[in-house]
Structure 1
Amino acid sequence: MTTPAAAAEPETGGESPADKPQDTRRTVRRLVALLGPYRLPTIAAMGCCVIGVAANTIGPLLLGKATDLIFAGFAGANLPAGLTKAEAIDRLRAEGNTTLAEVYGTVDLVPGSGVAFGRVAVLLAIALALYLVASSFMYLQERIAAKVVQKVAFDVRERVEAKLPRLPLSYFDRRPVGELLSRVTNDVDNLQTVMQQTFSKLASVVLALLTVLVMMLVISPLLTVLMLLSIPLSGYIVARVSKRTKPHFVELWADTGALNSHVEQMYTGHALVRVFGQRETALREFDECNDAMRGSGRRAHFFAEAIEPALLFVANLNYVMVAVVGALRVASGALSLGSVQAFMLYTTQFNNQAGEIGGVIGKLQSGFASAERVFELLDAEEQRPDPPDADRAEHVRGSVEFDRVSFRYTADRPLIEDLSLTVRPGQVVAIVGPTGAGKTTLGNLLMRFHEVDGGRILLDGRDIATMTRQDVRSRTGLVLQDTWLFEGTIADNIAYGLPGATREQVVAAARAVRVDHFVRTMPDGYDTVFTETAAVSAGEKQLVTVARAFLADPAILILDEATSSVDTRSEVLIQKAMTSLRAGRTCFVIAHRLSTIQDADVILVMEDGKIVERGAHGELLRAKGAYARLFAAQFARTAEDEEERPDR
C-alpha cells in the first residue's frame, strides 16, 4: 500500500553541496551528455547554424563589392573617355591629386563610363538571397533547438521524478519541503530557460565570430590585428565578472528555496499562524527571506548583465580605431572604399557577437547554478536496492520478530540498541513512551522506510531485507496522525489503498469501518471532492484514511497516533472503525492516550530506544513501573482538566 511516510526523528544536516559553487567543467560535461540521445537533431541544428552563419557572413563582402562598383562608376564618369585607367591615374598625379589617384587605383574603373547598375543589381540580389537563406536556416535552427531543449527538460523531469522514490526517508528529513520543491520546479525550469536561450545562440555566436574573423583577415590582416587588440581586455572582463557572477546565482537559488519553504509552511499552517497571533512574525520572516532573495538576485543579475555593456564599450573604442586606420588605408590606396565598408560591417558583426557572448555567459552562470542543484539531487545516495533474487511471499500470516535490532539516525547518536521483540499473528501490540523514545521509528523500520544498522526484522520468519520494499509495504497498512488526503473525491481517496478498486469495493470498505453513513450525508456522496476549504472535520478525514487502509487488506497494521488530533466523539467513532480494521490482523498501535490501548494484547513501554516494560494493561499497573507512572500522570492531568473546566 502506498502511503506517505510516518514522521521520523529529524536528522541534522549541513549545507547542501549544491549551495556552494561546484566544478563548472564537470557541470558542462553533464549538460552536454544530456544531448546524447538527440545527436541527429543536434547535428541538424548545427548544420543549419553553419549554413545560416556562412550565408550571413558573405553578405557584407558582396555589399562592399557593390559599393566599389558604384564608386568606380561615378569616378569613371568624371574622367575623360578614351583613356585607360593607368593613364587617368597618371594624369591625376600630374595635376597634384595624389590622394584621389591612390583611391581611384583601388577600384576597377573605366574612364568615361558610368555606374554598371546591372552588375550592382545582381550583387544586391545575391546578397538579399543570402540574407533570406541565412534567416531561414537560423529560424529552422531555433525550431530544432527548441524541440531538443524541451525533450532534454522532459528527460530531466522524468529522471528527477524517478529519483525521488529511490531516495531514503532520511534525505527528506534533512530538507524543508519548499527547498526540495524549488529544486524540482524552479531550478529545472530555469535550466530549461537558460538552455533554450543559449543552446543555439552560443553555437551560432562562436561560429559567426570565427567566420567573420576569417573574412576580416582576407580583407586586411593589419586591420584585423588592430581589431583583435581588444580581445585580451574583453577576456579579462569576462573572466573577472563571471567569477563573481556564479556564486551570486548559487545564493539566489538557495534563497529561492528558503522563500518557497517559508511560504509552504505558512500556507499549510495558516490557521495556527492566525490563532496564535503570529501573522506579523510570519510577515517579518517573509520579508527577511524576500529581502535576502532580492539582494542576491540584484547582485547576480547585475554582474550577469554587466558583461555585455562592458564588452560593447571596449568594442566601440576598437571600432573607432579601426575606422580611423581604415580611412588612412583608403587614402593611401592600400584598400578600396568597399573593402573598408565591408570590414567595418564585419567589425560591427564581430562586436555584436562578442556582446552576445557576454550575455550568454551571464545567463549560463544562472543555468550552471540551477544545474548543480538538480544534479546534486540526482546524485544523492539512494536507498539500498532490493535484492535481485527476491521472492514474493504468497501469503503472510502476520508474525513479526525484531531480532537484536539496532538503529541510529546519525552515527554519533544511537537510538535503538539490541532490541528484540516477537509478535504473534493477529496480536495487538501497543507502544507507548515519551516523545523521542523510538516508537515511530519501529514502524518506519518495519515498513523499510529506514534500514536497520544491526540485527534483522523477520516477517513470518523471513528477513524483510531479502524482500522487495513493495512486497513488504503491500502487506502493511498505515494510518497516521496527519490525515493525508489529496484533492479528489472521497471514493478516489479510499480507492488509493488498492489500485484498480471498484466502487463496490470502496463502498464495502467504507461500510466495514462505519464511514458510509458520514459519506452519504455529504452533498455528492462518494463523489464529494476534498479541498482545503471543504467542510469536513479532522475526525471525518481520519475515518476516510481508516477506510483506505481497510481496503488495502493488509496483514499488518500500524496505527501511529491515529486519534491524537480529534475530539472525543470522533475518537469513539475512529476507535470503533479501527476495531473493525484490526480484526484478524497483526496490529501495532503507537499512542499517547493510554485510554485507547487498554485492551491491547501486549503493551510495550519504550524509553531511549529500549523496551523497559512489556505486558498487559492490568499487569503493568500492578508492577508499578514506568507504565504505571505514565498512566498516573495522564490520569492526573485529565482530572486537573476536569476540575479547571468552567461550569456550563
Structure 2
Amino acid sequence: MSAQDTAGRPPRRTGPGPGPGGPMGMGMPGDKAIHFQQSLLRFARSMRPERGRVVALMLCGVASVALAVTGPRILGHGTNIIFEGVVGKLLATQFPPGTTAEQAVTALRAAGEGRLADMLAGMGTVVAGQGIDFDRLGRVLLGVLAIYGGAFLFGWLQARIMTVAVQNTMRRLRDEVEAKLHRVPLGYVDKQQKGEILSRVTNDIDNVAQTTTQTLAQLVTSVLTVVGVLAMMFSISWILALVALVTVPLSVWMTARIAKRSQPQFVAQWAATGRLNAHVEEMFTGHSLVKVYGQQEAAAQKFAVENEALFAASQKAQAISGTIMPSMGFLANLNYVVVAVVGGLRVASGQLSLGDVQAFIQYSRQFTQPLTQVASMMNLLQSGVASAERVYALLDAPEQTPDPASPTGVEQVRGRVAFEDVSFSYDPAAPLIEHLDLVAEPGQTVAIVGPTGAGKTTLVNLLMRFYEVDSGRITLDGVDTRTMTRDALRSSIGMVLQDTWLFKGTIEENLRYGVRRDISREDFLAATRATHVDPFVRHLPQGYDTVLDDDGTALSVGEKQLLTIARAFLADPEILVLDEATSSVDTRTEVLVQHAMNALRSGRTSFVIAHRLSTIRDADAIVVMEHGQIVETGDHASLLAADGAYARLYRSQFAAPVATE
C-alpha cells in the first residue's frame, strides 16, 4: 500500500502498553502490577481440555510423594538398628551378655543413672553383647531402595504427562493467536509495531510454555509434599511438628512481599522486550535505507536506549525476586537448628529414638524444601503470567465486524461498483471522506489521482472492507458489500500494491499463491510472458524453482513488482485494483507492462491509483480527489481542457524548465 494516505491514517503506535510516554516517545507500562490472579485463572481455563492429563499428573504426583515421604521413616528404622547394635556392644562392657534393655534400665536407675536409663528405655530391642543385625538392616535398605525407585518412576511419568499437556495447550494457544490475527481489523495492525506483535506470538508464548513446564508439576509435587511431610512429622512428634510450623507464616509473608514488589518489574521487562524486538525488526527490514541516510549511529543509539530499558527492568525483576531463595534458605536453616536441638533433648529424655529424630530432620528439610522451591518459582511464575497477559491482551483485541449470518451472494460478478453517499474517517475528530459518490461500470477503468493524503488508497481499503464505512454504502452489482462475506467479496478482486510481498519459497510458489490449482502450465507461462516475468526468470540458474527468501532480496525492486503483477494476472479476478503497481518498474518495462495491463483490464472493472499520470491517460474515467472529496471527473482530454486540478497535477509532472541565456 502506498504512503499517500498517511496524513489521514491514525498514528502508528510506538509502544505496546498504556501509560505515560517513555524514552524515544514510547509508551511505558503503568506502575500497577498486572491482574495476576485473573490471568492465572484464565490460563487454567486454557488448560481445561487437558484436565484428564492434569488429573493423571496429580495422581502420579500423589503416588510419587507418598513413596518419597515414606522413605525417611523406614530409613529411620535402619538408623535405629545400627544404633541399637552399637549400644548393645557398649552395654556388654557393663552388663553380662544377653542382658535385655529392661534389665539394664532397672540396674541403671538403681545406680542413679536416670538420664542414661531414660535414653536406653526409648531404644526398644537392645541386648547387651548383640551387635548390628545386618540381615534386618539389609531388608530395610532394600525396602528403601524400592520405595525411592517407585517414587522416581511415578515422578518421571508425571513429567511426561505434564509435557504433553503443556505442549497441547501451547499449540491451541498459538492456533488461537493465528486465528485472531486473521480476525483483527487492519486498523489494529496499523496501530501496532510488527516486532511487538511478533514478540507476543513468539517470545511471550514460549515464555508461558517454559514457565508452565518448569512450575506446574513442581507446584503440584510441592503442595503434596508439604501435606505428606506434615502428616509424617505429626505422627513422629507433634511438639517438633509445631516447632517446624512456626516458620511457615513468616515464609509466606516474606514471599508475598517480595512478589508484590517484583511483579511490576516483570511486566516492564516483557514490555521492554517487545519494544526492543520491534526496533530490531524495523532496522533489519530497512537496513539499506538506514545506511543510505547515514542513520546507523541514530539506530544504534535508539537500540542502546531500548536495550538499557530492558536491562534495567530485567535487573530489577531478577534482583528483587532473587532475594526469595536466600530468605527462604535462612528460615530453613533456622528451622533446622531448632529441630535438631529440641529433637536431641527428646532423645536424651527417651521420648524419641535417634532414628525418629533423624527421620524428622529429613522431614523438616523436605518440608522447607518445597516451600523454598515454590518461592524460587515465583519469579518464573510472575514472568510467565506477565507474558500470558500480553498474549491474552492480543486475543482480547477488538475484532472486525463478523460476516452476516445469512450473507447475500452475487451469482456471477459483472463488476459494477458504486460508492453511495460514503463517509469515513480514521479519527472521528478529523473527517476524511464525506458524502462521496462514485460509480465504476463493468469493464470500466477508473483512475484515482490526487495529492498525498487525499484519500485515494482509503477508497480501496473501503472497497476491500479492510475498514468499514461510517455511513452510506458500497455495492457490488447492486449488492451491499456489508451483506456479503469478506471472502466472497475479496475472491472477486485482485490487488497489486506498491509494496511488494513475497514469502520464502520458489518463484513459482510465489506466483501461484492464491491462484486456482487447476491452472495449466501453458496458461501459467502465458501469464508470465504477458507480464514480462518469463525472460528474467529463465536467466536465473534454477528458473522458476529459484528459492526466494522472505523479502525477495535476490531480485531487483522492479523484478519483485513484476512478480506481484503476474500473480494478480494468474488470479484472473473480475475486479482489479492497482495501487501504484508500476511505480518501481523502469520506464521501458513500464511501457511493456502497460500493454499487458490493457489486455488484462479488458472486460474487467479496474481501479488504478497512480501518481505517474502518464500511466492512466487511457483510463475510461479519471477521478481527482482532494481532502477526501472528488473535485473532478472525466477522461484525460476533457480534464486537461477544463484546466482544473488535474491539469495542474499534469503540468507539474511534465512541464519542462524554462531555459535562460
Q: TM-score category by the smaller chain?
A: over 0.9
Which residue is equivalent to 1:233? 250
For 1:70 and 1:225, the matched residues in 2 are separated by: 29
1:485 aligns with 2:518: no
1:71 to 65, 83, 89: 83
Spell out the pairing of 1:211-250 with structure 2 (5 A cutoff): 211-250=228-267
The structure 2 residue matched to 1:606, chosen from 622, 625, 629, is 625
The percentage of aligned residue pairs carrying the same residue is 51
Question: How far apart are 1:190 and its partner, in Å?
Answer: 0.8
Q: Which amino acid aligns with 1:633?
A: S
Q: Relative to 1, partners in 2 of residues 1:6 and 1:139: Cα closer, same or farther, differing over 3 Å?
A: farther
Matched residue type, 1:38: E
In the other structure, the counterpart of 1:206 is 223
C-alpha deviations, 1:345-400, integer Å up to 9, x for none?
Answer: 01111122111111221110010011001111111121111112224423111100
1:432–1:591 contact (8 Å) kept in structure 2: yes
1:592 aligns with 2:608: no
Q: Secondary structure at the match of 1:329?
A: helix
Aligned partner of 1:268 in structure 2 is 285
Please state how far the C-alpha of 1:564 moved relative to its aligned partner: 2.4
* 2:535 corresponds to: 517
Q: Which moved more, 1:364-373 or 1:497-506?
A: 497-506
The CA deviation at 1:492 is 1.4
Deviation, structure 1 residue 83:
4.3
Question: Which of 526, 529, 534 matches 2:547?
Answer: 529
Superposition map of 1:210-609 within 5 A: 210-500=227-517, 501-531=519-549, 535-609=554-628
What is the Cα deviation at residue 502 of structure 1?
A: 4.1
Q: State the Cα distance separating 1:535 from its structure 2 match.
A: 4.6
Aligned to 2:24: none
Would the alpha carbon gap of residues 238 and 405 (structure 1) be closer, same or farther in structure 2, given more than 3 Å must change?
same
User: Which of 104, 108, 112 is matched with 1:88 structurally?
Assistant: 104
In the superposition, relative to structure 1, how do residues 534 and 422 fare at CA in structure 2: closer, same or farther (>3 Å)?
A: closer
Q: Does the C-alpha gap of structure 1 residues 110 and 317 become closer, same or farther in structure 2, counting only changes over 3 Å?
A: closer
Aligned 8 A contact 1:416 1:609 in 2: yes
Quick one: distance in 1 between partners of 2:552 and 2:578? 26
Q: For structure 1, which segment, 80-89 or 249-258, has the greater mean C-alpha deviation from structure 2 after superposition?
A: 80-89
> 1:264-292, CA deviations, whole angstroms, 9 ceiling, x for partnerless residues?
11111111111111111112212222222
Name the SS of the counterpart of 2:505 in structure 1: coil
| Structure-2 residue corresponding to 1:11 | 10
Verify the 8 A CA contact 2:16 2:196 in the aligned structure 1.
no
Question: 1:255 Cα shift?
Answer: 1.2
Other-structure match for 1:103: 119
CA RMSD of aligned residues (A): 2.2
Output the CA distance in 1 between the equivalents of 2:501 and 2:393: 29
- Specify the SS of the correspondent of 1:485: coil
Give the TM-score normalised by structure 2.
Answer: 0.92
Give the match's secondary structure for 1:413.
coil
Contact 1:402 1:419 in 2 (8 A): yes
Q: Say which SS state the counterpart of residue 603 (structure 1) adopts.
A: strand
**In the TM superposition, what is the alpha-carbon distance from 1:173 to its structure 2 partner?**
0.4
Q: Is the deviation greater in 71-80 or in 152-161? A: 71-80
Q: Which residue of 1 aligns with 2:25?
A: none
Please say if residues 540 and 570 of structure 1, whose CA atoms lie closer than 8 Å, have aligned partners that are also in contact: no
How many Å separate the matches in 1 of 2:112 and 2:454?
107
- Preserved contact between residue 186 and residue 467 of structure 2 (Cα < 8 Å): yes
Closer, same or farther in 2 for the Cα pair 1:499/1:355, shift >3 Å? farther
Aligned residues: 639
Unaligned stretches of 5+ residues in structure 2: 19-27
Distance in 2 of aligned mates of 1:373 and 1:558: 36
2:70 to 49, 58, 61: 58
Q: Is the 8 A contact 1:255 1:293 kept in 2?
A: yes
Alpha-carbon separation, structure 2, partners of 1:154 and 1:594: 50
Residue identity in the other structure for 1:69: I
- Compute the displacement of 1:84 (Å): 4.5
Partner residue, 1:38: 50
1:194-224 CA-partner distances (Å, limit 9, x unpaired): 1111111110011101111111111111111
Moved more, 485-494 or 563-572: 563-572
| Residues 583, 343 of structure 1: alpha-carbon distance in 2 compared, 3 angstrom cutoff | same
Any unmatched runs of 5+ in structure 1?
none
Q: Distance in 2 between matches of 1:374 and 1:97?
A: 72
SS at match of 2:322: helix
Which of 141, 157, 162 is the aligned partner of 2:179? 162
TM-score using structure 1 length: 0.94
Letter matched to residue 525 of structure 1: G
Deviations 1:53-78 (A, max 9, x none): 00000000111122122222322333
Q: Which moved more, 1:412-421 or 1:51-60?
A: 412-421
1:633 maps to 2:643: no
- Give, in whole Å, the separation in 2 of the partners of 1:522 and 1:221: 83
The structural deviation recorded for 1:15 is 5.3
| C-alpha distance in 1 between matches for 2:5 and 2:326 | 52
* Change in 2 beyond 3 A, CA 1:536/1:292: same
The residue type equivalent to 1:478 in the other structure is M
Question: Which residue of 130, 133, 151 corresponds with 2:168?
Answer: 151
- 8 Å Cα contact 1:497/1:549 also seen in 2: no
**In 2 relative to 1, CA 255–570 (structure 1 residues): closer, same or farther, beyond 3 Å?**
farther
Alpha-carbon shift at residue 643 of structure 1 (Å): 7.5
User: For the structure 1 residues 64 and 537, does the alpha-carbon distance in structure 2 shift closer, same or farther, using more than 3 Å as the test?
Assistant: same
Deviating more after overlay: 521-530 vs 307-316? 521-530
Quick one: distance in 2 between partners of 1:226 and 1:5? 72
Q: 1:425 is matched by which residue type in structure 2?
A: P
Structure 1 range deviating more: 581-590 or 53-62? 581-590
For the residues of structure 2 that align with 1:471 and 1:478, how far apart are their CA atoms? 15
Shift of residue 82 of structure 1? 5.2
Aligned partners of 2:229 and 2:366 also within 8 Å: yes
Offset of 1:95 from its aligned partner? 2.7
User: Equivalents in 2 of 1:203, 1:304: separation in Å?
Assistant: 21
| Residue of structure 2 equivalent to 1:24 | 36
SS of equivalent residue, structure 2 residue 363: helix
AA in 2 matched with 1:487: K
Change (3 A) 1:141 1:643: farther
